């Protein structure tokens, strides 16, 4: 396969933020997920199972080309997968669970983890579970981004809603095209 | 031709596109400008009655009327341009009817000219109508952005029945069971704009009973401004103002989703709104709605000089993005 023509978007972010759900919401094929019992304590209390290698879904564009949708594992010990999966990707969607103990810390962590990739690419910050916790606010997220000098859009989403996930990709595409 | 047909109802006098040597206005490919002093036919054309079309609007001279070929036309701009031309050219316009003499002509030096052109005026003349402005200090938006303190609520008598919209300015929150788009009629209604006041305790009791959760007041201000603007630019805006977005607007609000690329463009480029229209192809009335909403919510930064960031993607990547965009659009519609 010609690597140049691979179209890839990556969903990353904290455990339970909705990466697997988001890919399932829009993939036109049955998604491939690698779920297992979590090993990290902080994850055990949040979810009974979690992604350990990756999630995979697909969309097809005109001409039969595939858009690959990858989800990274949320547990810290699998961070290396993030670097593998983002290689050659067009852009990154960082999902942050707003009910997390420290959502700002999570945002900071995933931006740092992907700093090298984001030097030449784009990201969208998707804040999930906003209906359960409306603090921190979207303004708070922008403040963190402004302090870091990052220009990425912040959107609160319901990862179960395909319209919301499409909007994330639309925004990422516009960022790649115009920003 | 088709865009002219759409525009006709709002034109002061009827226009007709003809293919004849004598006309009131002439549509020319910009490349002919270089030959205008050498070619006798071109030389005979009055410059003030020439409209040039081009893919590159940067390549222009002062006091020229330019049509950008790069994007879909803006009907509002087309109407403004044609009515402006009519008012400045006093030849045969006062009692014109469709059957009378044509007012313009296409000199078909370049038959590939698209009717789907957006209009940009680069003359020093302000084409904005002086009256059709959006005034944010009036109506519902005016009540939202006023400095008046205290928790208030509005009674909503909409199609779903009796309901309330609570505003808590100090908390920068609002509460309602309604989706924003269902409040459009309320925003523009002058009858329902009499707020009632209540205490913090009363608010807490009522929102607890109704199971309401706080939502960002800025989103309500953004959306109501967007909805109430009706395609008119905000009062006090100068068409030559160079602006950029300080940060992304709430693009998940209804209506804003269609304007994601405008948000992306205006976040990275400091330009006037006409340039934003040309670069994104979004109709001017929608740009005004968007701009007003961003302006009222303090998301607009005014700068002294144009600062553009041209992204050189290349044809292959651009085509790929177009295909991805098309696929995402299909997902949205399915």
List, for residues A86-122, the tens digit of each pLDDT value. Answer: 999 999 999 999 999 999 999 999 999 999 999 999 9
Q: Please tell me the predicted confidence (pLDDT) of residue B110.
A: 33
Separation CA B241–CA B265 (nearest Å): 16
Please tell me the distance in Å from B80's CA to the nearest CA on chain A: 28
Q: Please tell me the predicted confidence (pLDDT) of residue B276.
A: 96
Contacting residues for B218 by C-beta, under 8 A, at least 6 apart: A139, B172, B250, B297
Q: Would an 8 Å CB–CB cutoff place A155 in contact with chain B?
A: yes
What average pLDDT does range A133-156 have in this prediction? Answer: 93
Nearest to B323 among A62, A153, A176 (CB): A62
Please tell me the distance in Å from B325's CA to the nearest CA on chain A: 7
Residues 133-152 of A with CB under 8 A from B: 134, 137-139, 142, 146, 151
pLDDT in tens, B118-135: 333 333 333 444 458 999
| Residue from B173, B181, B260, B318 to probe the interface with A (highest A Cβ count within 10 Å) | B260
* pTM across the whole model: 0.69
CB A179 within 8 A of CB A122: yes
Nearest to B313 among A174, A175, A177 (CB): A177
Q: Do A134 and B214 touch (CB under 8 A)?
A: yes
Q: Do B326 and A153 touch (CB under 8 A)?
A: no
Radius of gyration of chain A (CA): 15
Please tell me the distance in Å from A113's CA to the nearest CA on chain B: 23
Q: Which of A104, A160, A102 is nearest to A131 (CA)?
A: A160
Contacting residues for B287 by C-beta, under 8 A, at least 6 apart: B262, B273, B276, B277, B280
Q: In which residue ranges of chain B is pLDDT below 50?
A: 90-130
Listing DSSP states for chain A in one string gives --GGG-EEEEEEESTTSSHHHHHHHH-SSPPEEEEE---SHHHHTT-S-EEEEEEEEEEE-TTSPEEEEEE---SGGGHHHHHHHHTT-SEEEEEEETTSS-HHHHHHHHHHHTHHHHTSSEEEEEEE-TTT---S-HHHHHHHHHHHT----EEE--TT-HHHHHHHHHHHHHHHHH-
Measured in whole angstroms, how far is the alpha carbon of residue B244 from the centre of its chain?
A: 15
CB B248 within 8 A of CB A153: yes
Q: Please tell me the predicted confidence (pLDDT) of residue B155.
A: 85
CB B294 within 8 A of CB B302: no
Tell me which chain B residue has its CA closest to the CA of residue A127: B252
Q: Please tell me the predicted confidence (pLDDT) of residue B104.
A: 43
Tell me which chain A residue has its CA closest to the CA of residue B261: A174
Residue B82, CA atoms < 13 Å, CB-side half-sphere: 28
Q: Do B252 and A157 touch (CB under 8 A)?
A: yes
Please tell me the distance in Å from B188's CA to the nearest CA on chain A: 27
Separation CA B38–CA B148 (nearest Å): 67
First and final C-alpha spacing in chain B: 33
Q: Do B257 and A178 touch (CB under 8 A)?
A: no
Residue A155 has pLDDT above 60, yes or no: yes
Instruction: Classify strands A154-156 and A50-60 as parallel, antiparallel or unpaired.
Output: unpaired
CA distances from B212 to B57, B165, B315 (A): 50, 10, 49
Neighbours of A108 (CB within 10 A): 16
Tell me, what DSSP letter sits at residue B257?
G
3-state secondary structure of B312: coil
Q: Would an 8 Å CB–CB cutoff place A167 in contact with chain B?
A: yes
Please tell me the distance in Å from B104's CA to the nearest CA on chain A: 37
Q: Would an 8 Å CB–CB cutoff place B254 in contact with chain A?
A: no
pLDDT in tens, A19-46: 999 999 999 988 877 766 666 666 656 6
CB B241 within 8 A of CB B268: no
Q: Do B264 and A177 touch (CB under 8 A)?
A: yes
Q: Please tell me the predicted confidence (pLDDT) of residue B2.
A: 53
Nearest to A178 among B250, B265, B320 (CB): B265
């Amino acid at each position: 396969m010609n690597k140049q023509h691979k179209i890839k978007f990556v969903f990353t972010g904290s455990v339970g933020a909705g990466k697997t759900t988001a890919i399932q919401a829009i993939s036109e094929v049955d998604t491939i997920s690698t779920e297992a019992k979590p090993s990290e304590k902080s994850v055990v209390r949040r979810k009974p199972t979690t992604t350990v290698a990756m999630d995979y879904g697909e969309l097809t564009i005109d001409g039969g080309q595939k858009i690959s949708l990858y989800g990274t594992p949320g547990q810290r010990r699998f961070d290396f997968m993030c670097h593998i999966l983002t290689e050659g990707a067009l852009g990154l969607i960082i999902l942050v669970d707003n009910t997390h103990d420290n959502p700002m810390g999570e945002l900071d962590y995933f931006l740092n983890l992907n700093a090298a990739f984001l030097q030449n690419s784009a990201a969208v910050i998707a804040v999930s579970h906003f209906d359960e916790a409306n603090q921190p606010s979207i303004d708070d997220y922008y403040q963190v981004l402004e302090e870091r000098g990052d220009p990425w859009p912040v959107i609160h989403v319901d990862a179960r809603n395909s319209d919301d996930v499409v909007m994330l990709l639309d925004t990422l595409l516009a960022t790649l095209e115009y920003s | 031709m088709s865009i002219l047909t759409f525009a006709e109802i709002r034109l002061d006098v009827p226009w007709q596109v003809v293919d004849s040597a004598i006309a009131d206005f002439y549509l020319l490919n910009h490349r002919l400008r270089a030959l205008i002093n050498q070619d006798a036919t071109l030389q005979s054309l009055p410059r003030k009655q020439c409209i040039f079309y081009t893919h590159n609007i940067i390549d222009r001279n002062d006091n020229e009327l330019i049509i950008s070929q790069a994007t879909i036309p803006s009907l509002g701009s087309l109407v403004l341009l044609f009515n402006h031309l009519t008012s400045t050219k006093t030849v045969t316009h006062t009692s014109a009817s469709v059957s009378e003499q044509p007012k313009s002509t296409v000199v078909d030096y370049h038959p590939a000219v698209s009717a789907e052109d957006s209009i940009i005026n680069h003359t020093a003349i302000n084409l904005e109508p002086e009256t059709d402005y959006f005034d944010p200090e009036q109506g519902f938006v005016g009540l939202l952005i006023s400095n008046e303190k205290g928790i208030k609520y509005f009674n909503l008598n909409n199609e779903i029945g009796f309901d309330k919209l609570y505003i808590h300015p100090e908390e920068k929150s609002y509460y309602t069971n309604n989706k924003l788009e269902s409040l459009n009629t309320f925003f523009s209604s002058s009858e329902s704009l009499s707020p009632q006041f209540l205490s913090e305790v009363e608010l807490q009791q009522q929102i607890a009973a109704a199971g309401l959760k706080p939502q960002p007041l800025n989103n309500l201000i953004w959306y109501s401004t967007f909805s109430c603007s009706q395609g008119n630019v905000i009062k006090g805006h100068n068409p030559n103002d160079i602006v950029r977005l300080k940060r992304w607007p709430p693009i998940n609000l209804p209506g804003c989703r269609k304007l994601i690329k405008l948000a992306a463009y205006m976040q990275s480029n400091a330009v006037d709104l006409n340039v934003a229209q040309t670069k994104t192809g979004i109709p001017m009335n929608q740009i005004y709605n968007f701009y007003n909403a961003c302006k009222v919510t303090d998301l607009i930064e005014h700068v002294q000089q144009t600062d553009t960031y041209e992204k050189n993607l290349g044809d292959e990547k651009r085509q790929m993005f177009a295909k991805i965009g098309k696929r995402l659009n299909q997902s949205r519609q399915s």
